[in-house]
Amino acid sequence: MTDRLIYLPLGGAGEIGMNAYVYGYGAPGKERLIVVDLGVAFPDMDTSPGVDLILPDIAWLVERRAQIEGIFITHAHEDHVGAIGHYWERLGAPVYARRFTANIARRKLAEHGHPDSVVKVVAPFPQVVDCGPFKVSYLPISHSIPESAGLLIDTPDGRVLHSGDFKIDETPVVGDPWNRALWEDVSKNGVKALICDSTNVFSTAPGRSESTIGPAITEMMKEASGMVVATTFASNIARLKTLAMGARHADRSVVLLGRAMRRMVEAATEEGILDGFPAVISPEDALNVPRENLMLLVTGSQGERRAASAQLAQGSYMGLKLQEGDTFLFSSKTIPGNERGVIRIMNQLSELGVDVIDDAGGKYHVSGHANRPDLETLHQIVKPQFLIPMHGEHRHLREHVKLGRANGITGIVAVNGMMIDLSGNTPKVAEYIETGRTYLDGTAKVGAMDGVVRDRIRMALNGQMVVTLIIDENDEPLGDPWVEISGLSETGRSNTSLADIVEQDLSQFINRANAKTLRDDVKLEKELKTIARRSTQAEIGKKPEVIVIVSRLS
Amino acid sequence: MTDRLIYLPLGGAGEIGMNAYVYGYGAPGKERLIVVDLGVAFPDMDTSPGVDLILPDIAWLVERRAQIEGIFITHAHEDHVGAIGHYWERLGAPVYARRFTANIARRKLAEHGHPDSVVKVVAPFPQVVDCGPFKVSYLPISHSIPESAGLLIDTPDGRVLHSGDFKIDETPVVGDPWNRALWEDVSKNGVKALICDSTNVFSTAPGRSESTIGPAITEMMKEASGMVVATTFASNIARLKTLAMGARHADRSVVLLGRAMRRMVEAATEEGILDGFPAVISPEDALNVPRENLMLLVTGSQGERRAASAQLAQGSYMGLKLQEGDTFLFSSKTIPGNERGVIRIMNQLSELGVDVIDDAGGKYHVSGHANRPDLETLHQIVKPQFLIPMHGEHRHLREHVKLGRANGITGIVAVNGMMIDLSGNTPKVAEYIETGRTYLDGTAKVGAMDGVVRDRIRMALNGQMVVTLIIDENDEPLGDPWVEISGLSETGRSNTSLADIVEQDLSQFINRANAKTLRDDVKLEKELKTIARRSTQAEIGKKPEVIVIVSRLS
């Protein structure tokens, strides 16, 4: 069979977050593989209650461990690098990254006991990593974290450009500015496929530079009378710098609150990419500074319950307290699904008399991703034979394909698990891979479809009932069945205990049950469950989850 | 003691939704009372999983049932009238409403077996309802449902105006247009207090009329090539009419899908307030109409899982199917917290090849509430002595007070449970009433703080474990303890069954336990629970909820 070039998203295509893409080249089934990014997504109460992190399902890769030549991380955001520590042992291939990203990746690997040597630092283009049939270079591109990069992947079937997360920003505050000449240069001899960020395809205005919001932030911090608190993603290092510089210009000392915030600034400082970032003071020292000379930079822009912002909103954090006249700035977008959490904090701040400023006007926040006109700019520069949108929900991918098509570029919607053959004159679906999400739940990894989380959701929606019955050595019931409830109203229609009512109905059944039924565990459990549910339904209008425990003495 | 005039919000103040306000006049503790609105709020997975509806806690009112002179409903939205059926029996007072609102209220009361006579139809001002010390009139005001009204409440201590939900709309498509002269007239002799809608206080642009979006909707429906589906709140009757008229102008027949949608149109038609609404066709008849001549008006604008929009997105509803080339319009705002559900539907539609149009540009949706400049207009017309913001979260109420204060009006933030004495020269907090939320859960009503829902959330976050142990007549364990799990990973660190591991640890304890411990149920349960949690924590890194059942043979 002839060799082929394949692209397979395992995460990030059909969702925002959890990026994990695979490229392969070789005979079908024997391709040599590289992995681009290994990110995480974040759980929510609706679909993944109690889960700690969402990881891509990498079973397909693990089965092909021996074919993996390398893992390339485009930048240090959690949705691109967050899974590296959890998965490296099962993949075993060298990890490549630019210097700052490598710093972050090494911290994550160290948490799982892996040495720094796992990660190889790569300089930007024209440095080339030879990786089996692939030659890979890092193409600097502007984004909201330093040293973000797209990847130039030369293959025997032609050149592939993987955009990574990007925006077109000539003055990005930190990291490399947009370098049109570089992208023109690498595109001039023809590009087989552009695999391209899609998150902002519905944003029709041209993107704005990070540096456009600095003046408004400085102004706001000057005008505020009390303490100013600002929150954004800790990994949005560009914004951290914009906010800290604003504070300095407004004669405010900067305090970093929250572990992720301190960690990111530490890593960026270590790598020397936060030049000009003002010195920070400790929370203890801040207590001796007048509040009009303070700016707290805090975690929790998404309303996370345990983050610094939530704790400040509830009263205090590390001795620092908010009060009437203080100002709280959300310099961030609220990710869909997090609105309630953010609003809860806003209202708690309102109760304290704190003025809240949010992203409503776009005055204090710009996106780190390329808007629609900027995507078109990249398409026009690269002029790829194929456009494969990545990093987006289905609607983003589909819209991005439509956008490319309108400009004459062939595209295809490829969602997680769709292996695309890029070798021919049109991109084709080669195979559908069974994939999904893996939940990190405590320290266990469970498949999203394993039923574990489904059972939790059912208990949350329906409540839980435990029915216990003891059967003696002669297959006779020993006493009556009894019932424990959890998450159910204690009383119902009859105004007496729900458990009592259900126990009566169960006893009635048991007292009439014949010897055959009492000997048959399966039947007994099924009947008791049915009666418990029916009886609860009649009493309180709900059908609970029921666990039946039949204990047989022998 | 001298008589006083009080205002007490029991719902809607400190939240959006679940409106329920009380006014009283008389000697402290003996006030004669009127209730304004009895609405509901909607549950969410984060805070109220499995709950069917959220109702205000009316315990304070029920204790004072004999003091209630009447219940006034301002308009027929669920957050103003939704609780009337559930609560009327416990309050017993006559219900007043304008004709269309009365129609809806009667349907709700009928579901609970109460006769139509409970609801008295009131004509708008100048008709007056004498209600103990109060004289109450309905003041027509524009909103998104017909016959919305504010209330003019004359009391021995002066005139109170309760705005109800409103916007300033001179061409509202349905219902009464904004009547400036009327509000000037009722305000000219002085108003003690304006109790005022606050939901849009952060929207700084002047509000737009419902009639401004008709042309764009018509245009869109003309241009769409396939079937058009539009969704909005069923109770937004103005929008239903705007959408249906758009369909008619685009030569499309209208199909109503979803029970709430059919019901609202039926009630509005019954009351003769939907003049000009085009005739609708049945889903069966629609199958014989070319899809470019169809417009489906469907429920589920908030992504509700069982609504018509969700079912269409999943394939079909009542035989109607969406396909490539069809268009789906969200002519609605997504309520915070519902984003994920709405996005899920958008992506399912994208998979079907359906183009989705949402509210992004404001082209196909306007709010039904007064924006900030319109609130100021009302303040300036009414010139109240006091401004008491209602219907808003804390941040809305606080901002609204600040807005009034900036224009020289005295205000106070009064949240649910804060009884305000309006008699003197400044509004004062007279008392804090214990209040909260009541959950309708199946057919049972449970207090939000009763622990029922808290237990469900804990099971969802932590998983559940049931430990069973039998103790015989001699206080000796009969066999080993055993464990059932639900919502927990089946295996953990040791790669063997979690239940087995925990059972081993429990058995070890039981085998060593002395006679005293084995006789002591409380101690035994506590120890078994502790061991089960510790053992699970070691194995999978989670501390589950544990139910221990010790069965004693006797």
Q: Could you say which DSSP state residue A335 is in?
A: P
Task: For domain B463-552, give the fold.
Answer: Ubiquitin-like (UB roll) (3.10.20)
CB spacing of B393 vs A347 below 8 angstroms: yes
From A131, A19, A122, select the one nearest A68 (Cα to Cα): A131
Angle at A139 between CA A137 and CA A144, to 5 degrees: 135
% of residues, chain A, pLDDT over 70? 100
pLDDT at residue B48 greater than cutoff 80 = yes
Chain A nearest CA to B455, separation (Å) = 5
Q: What letter represents residue A484's amino acid?
A: E
What DSSP letter does each residue of B159-176 carry, written as one string? Answer: EEEE--S----S--SSSP
Task: Mutation target for B interface from A398, A491, A494: give the one with most B CBs within 10 A.
Answer: A398
Q: How confident is the model at residue B255 (pLDDT cuts 50, 70, 90)?
A: very high
Interface touch A444/B489, C-beta < 8 Å: yes
A50/B346 touch (CB, cutoff 8 Å), yes or no: no
CB B188 within 8 Å of CB B288? no
Overall average pLDDT of the A82-102 stretch? 97
Question: What mean pLDDT do residues A13-28 have?
Answer: 97
Q: Does the pLDDT of residue B189 top 90, yes or no?
A: yes
Peptide linkage before A126 cis (omega within 30 of 0):
yes
Specify the DSSP class assigned to residue A29: T
Cβ distance B395 to A347 less than 8 Å, yes or no, reads yes
| Closest chain A residue by Cα to residue B450 | A489
Q: Which of residues 522-551 of B touch A (CB under 8 A)?
A: 537, 540-542, 545, 547, 549, 551
Report d(CA B471, CA B517) in Å as an integer.
Answer: 12
pLDDT at res. B494 = 85
Tell me the C-alpha distance between A70 and A24, whole Å.
11
Give the pLDDT confidence score for residue B257 in this predicted structure. 97
Q: Chain A: give the shortest CA distance to residue B366, in Å.
A: 17
Nearest to B343 among A393, A461, A490 (CB): A393
Residues forming CATH 3.40.50.10710 domain(s) in chain B:
214-360
d(CA A26, CA A11): 22
Q: What architecture is the B4-205+367-447 domain classified under in CATH?
A: 4-Layer Sandwich (3.60)
Joined together, the tokens standing for residue A138 give 């890092």
A455 touches chain B (CB under 8 A): yes
Q: Smallest CA–CA separation between A540 and chain B, in Å?
A: 5
Single-letter amino acid code for the residue at B436: G
**B202, B455, B461: residue with CB nearest A50:** B461
User: For A531-545, what is the mean pLDDT?
Assistant: 97
Give B-chain residues touching A199 at CB under 8 angstroms: none
**Chain B residue whose CA is closest to A351:** B394
Tell me: the pLDDT tens digits for A250-285? 999 999 999 999 999 999 999 988 888 999 999 999
Say if residue B197's pLDDT is above 90.
yes
Contact A541 B443 (CB under 8 A): yes
**54-93 in chain A: CB under 8 A from chain B:** none
Give residues 333 to 362 of B whose Cβ lies within 8 Å of A: 336-337, 339-341, 343, 346-347, 349-351, 353, 356, 360
Question: Residue A452: its chain B contacts at CB < 8 A?
Answer: 463, 487-490
What are the distances in angstroms from CA B477 to CA A468, B94, B473, B519? 17, 63, 9, 10
Residue B381 has pLDDT above 80, yes or no: yes
Q: Which pLDDT value is given to residue A79?
A: 97
Q: How confident is the model at residue B132 (pLDDT cuts 50, 70, 90)?
A: very high
* Banded pLDDT at B360 (limits 50, 70, 90): confident
Cβ–Cβ gap A444/B541 under 8 Å? yes
Interface of A with B in 375-404 (CB under 8 A): 393-395, 398
The closest CB to that of A489, out of B44, B336, B441, belongs to B441
Q: How far is residue A145 CA from its own chain's centroid?
A: 16
Residue A452 to residue B446, Cβ atoms within 8 A: no
| Alpha-carbon span A486 to A464, nearest angstrom | 5
Question: In this structure, are residues A470 and A478 in contact, taking their beta carbons and an 8 Å threshold?
Answer: yes
DSSP 8-state secondary structure symbol assigned to residue B17: S
Q: Which pLDDT value is given to residue A511?
A: 94
Cβ-proximal residues to A407 (8 Å cutoff; 6+ apart), any chain = A376, A379, A380
Residue A137 to chain B, least CA–CA distance (Å): 34
pLDDT value of position B554: 74
A16/B contact by beta carbon, under 8 A:
no
Answer whether A508 touches B (CB < 8 Å): no
Q: What is the mean pLDDT of residues B141-149?
A: 96
What is the rounded distance in angstroms from the CA atom of residue A527 to the CA atom of residue B442?
Answer: 23
- Res. B344 pLDDT band, cuts 50 70 90: very high
Looking at every residue in chain B, the average pLDDT score rounds to: 96
Which pTM value belongs to this model?
Answer: 0.95
Mutate to test the interface with B, among A339, A456, A529, A552 (most CBs of B within 10 A): A456
Q: Which tens digits make up the pLDDT trace of A44-70?
A: 999 999 999 999 999 999 999 999 999
Does the beta carbon of A456 lie under 8 angstroms from any beta carbon of chain B? yes
Q: Where in chain A are all domains bearing CATH 3.60.15.10?
A: 4-205+367-442
CA A366 to CA A331: how far, in whole Å?
9
Residue B177, chain A, CB below 8 Å: the answer is no
pLDDT score for A359:
75
Side chain identity at residue B245, one-letter code? M
Which residues from A are below 8 Å from B394, CB to CB?
347, 350-351
**pLDDT the model gives residue A202:** 95
Choose which CATH entry (3.40.50.10710, 3.40.190.10, 3.90.1300.10, 3.40.640.10) describes domain B214-360: 3.40.50.10710
Strand-pair category, B68-72 with B32-36: parallel
**Chain B residues with beta carbon closer than 8 angstroms to that of A343:** 336, 393
- For the cut 90, the answer to whether the pLDDT of residue B200 exceeds it is yes
What is the per-residue pLDDT for B140?
A: 98
Question: What average pLDDT score do residues A111-116 get?
Answer: 97
- Would you state the structure tokens that stand for residue B517, as one six-digit string? 């411990």
pLDDT at residue B276 in the model? 86
Chain A neighbours among B 425-444 (CB < 8 Å)? 441-444
Burial-class residue B336 by CB neighbours within 10 Å (0-12, 13-18, 19+).
middle
Chain A interface, mutation test: which of B48, B453, B489, most A Cβ atoms within 10 Å? B489
The average confidence (pLDDT) of chain A is 96
Return the residue of B nearest to A393 by Cα.
B347
Where do the CATH 3.10.20.580 domains begin and end in chain A? 463-552
| A394 chain-B contacts, CB cut-off 8 A | 347, 350-351
Residue range A304-317, pLDDT digits in tens: 989 999 999 998 99
Nearest to B551 by CA among A508, A552, A521: A552
B489, pLDDT greater than 80: yes
CATH code of the region A4-205+367-442: 3.60.15.10
Other beta carbons less than 10 A from residue A113's beta carbon: 8
On the question of pLDDT at A554 being above 80, the answer is no
Angle at A502 between CA A500 and CA A503, to 5 degrees: 60
Q: Is the dihedral of CA A522, A527, A530, A533 positive or negative?
A: negative
Give chain A's end-to-end CA distance (angstroms, integer). Answer: 64
Mean pLDDT, residues A371-397? 98
What is the average per-residue pLDDT within B503-518?
95
Q: CB contacts < 8 Å between A and B, how many?
A: 194
**DSSP-based three-state secondary structure for A79:** helix
In 3-state terms chain B splits into helix, strand, coil percentages (rounded to 5) of 35, 25, 40
Cβ contact A343–B336 (<8 Å): yes
B chain contacts of residue A456, beta-carbon cutoff 8 Å:
459-461, 463, 486-487
pLDDT at A553: 85
Q: Is A489 on the interface with B (CB under 8 A)?
A: yes
- Name the token pair of A240: 């951290």
Searching chain B, which residue's CA lies closest to the CA of residue A494? B444
Q: Give the pLDDT confidence score for residue A1 in this predicted structure.
A: 72
CATH class of A214-361: alpha beta
- Which residues in chain B (464-483) have CB-CB distances under 8 A to chain A? 464, 466, 468, 470, 478-479
Query: A386-425 pLDDT, tens per residue?
Result: 999 999 999 999 999 999 999 999 999 999 999 999 999 9
CATH 3.60.15.10 maps onto chain B at 4-205+367-447
pLDDT given for residue A362 in this prediction: 83
Q: What is the pLDDT of residues B30-45, one digit of tens each?
A: 999 999 999 999 999 9
Angle CA(A41)–CA(A47)–CA(A53) in degrees, nearest 5? 30
Name the closest residue on chain B to residue A460, using Cα atoms.
Answer: B456
For residue A490, the chain B residues in CB contact (below 8 A) are 452
Confidence of residue A352 (pLDDT cuts 50, 70, 90): very high
Of A398, A391, A406, nearest in space to B350 by CA = A398
Cβ of A50 within 8 Å of Cβ of B540? The answer is no
What is the spatial distance between Cα A40 and Cα A42, in angstroms, rounded to a whole number? 7
Neighboring chain B residues of A389 at a CB cutoff of 8 Å: none
**DSSP secondary structure of A441-487:** ETTEEEETTSSHHHHHHHHHHH-EEEEEEEE-TTS-B-S--EEEEES
Evaluate if residue B1 carries a pLDDT over 90: no
Percent of chain B with pLDDT over 70: 100
Residue in chain A lying closest to B46 (CA): A45
- Sign of the alpha-carbon torsion through B420, B422, B428, B430: negative
